[in-house]
């Protein structure tokens, strides 16, 4: 099976432009950016609850813990929320208007929570309709890990952020391109 594409800034903007034309533009843009900024899997995004991300007062948390039921590896892990994602989540809160901490963070078209499969289908639809080949629900995850690696973040930190128990798994996510190779040889 081919690996999901790692997304460039231009491709992310292209997908976001497409999201802006959709019925649930704010939700879909937030899901896409959540994936790119945290590296969460589709299953983990689908399992998020309002209370995971927002305080009782409605403020965006700087970090939150995924329970073992929410993760692939059945291990809890802390997710850190960047400033850029916090801004998006503040906009999302204004649009979403939900005070129930137990409610799904992302509601499906039918009003309930997404399943892992329907979340994967949402990503596939967004990327396909945006004209992005080889992109899938894992593209945000690969983009997250690759971008941090290219900025010098160590593989142990990347593994912790991704929820991998093995750094070998994390290393398979790191994409290498010509620009990185050229920058590397300039360090000598």
State residue 82's pLDDT score: 96
Structural domain contains residue 85: yes
pLDDT of res. 180: 73
- How many domains does the chain fold into? 1
The domain of 79 spans: 9-140
Residue 163 lies in a domain: no
Kindly give the residue spans of alpha helices, DSSP state H, lying in the chain: 9-19, 25-38, 42-47, 50-53, 83-96, 116-129, 139-150, 155-162, 167-173, 178-185
Structure tokens at 174: 């790191």
What was the pLDDT predicted at 1?
52
pLDDT at 97: 86
CATH of the domain at 114: 1.10.443.10
Say which DSSP state 103 is in.
S
Task: State the pLDDT at residue 168.
Answer: 82
In a domain, 87, yes or no: yes
Q: What are phi and psi of 66, to 5 degrees?
A: -85, 130
Asked whether 36 and 12 are in contact (CB, 8 A), the reply is: yes
**Weakly modelled stretches of the chain, pLDDT under 70:** 1
Token output for 170: 């994390």
The pLDDT assigned to 116 comes to 94
Residue 182 falls inside a structural domain: no
Q: Which two tokens stand for residue 156?
A: 């142990």
């Amino acid at each position: 099976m081919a690996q999901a594409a790692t997304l460039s800034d231009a491709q992310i903007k292209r997908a976001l432009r497409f999201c802006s034309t959709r019925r649930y533009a704010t939700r879909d843009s937030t899901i896409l950016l959540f994936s790119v900024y945290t590296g969460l899997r589709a299953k983990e995004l689908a399992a998020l609850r309002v209370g995971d991300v927002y305080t009782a007062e409605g403020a965006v948390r700087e970090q939150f813990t995924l329970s073992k039921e929410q993760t692939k590896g059945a291990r809890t892990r802390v997710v850190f929320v960047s400033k850029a994602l916090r801004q998006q989540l503040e906009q999302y809160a204004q649009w979403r208007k939900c005070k129930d901490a137990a409610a799904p963070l992302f509601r499906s078209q039918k009003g309930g929570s997404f399943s892992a499969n329907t979340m994967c289908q949402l990503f596939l639809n967004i990327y396909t309709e945006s004209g992005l080949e080889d992109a899938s629900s894992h593209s945000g995850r690969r983009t997250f890990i690759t971008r941090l690696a290219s900025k010098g973040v160590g593989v142990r930190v990347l593994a912790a952020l991704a929820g991998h128990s093995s750094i070998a798994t994390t290393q398979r996510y790191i994409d290498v391109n010509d620009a990185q190779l050229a920058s590397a040889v300039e360090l000598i």
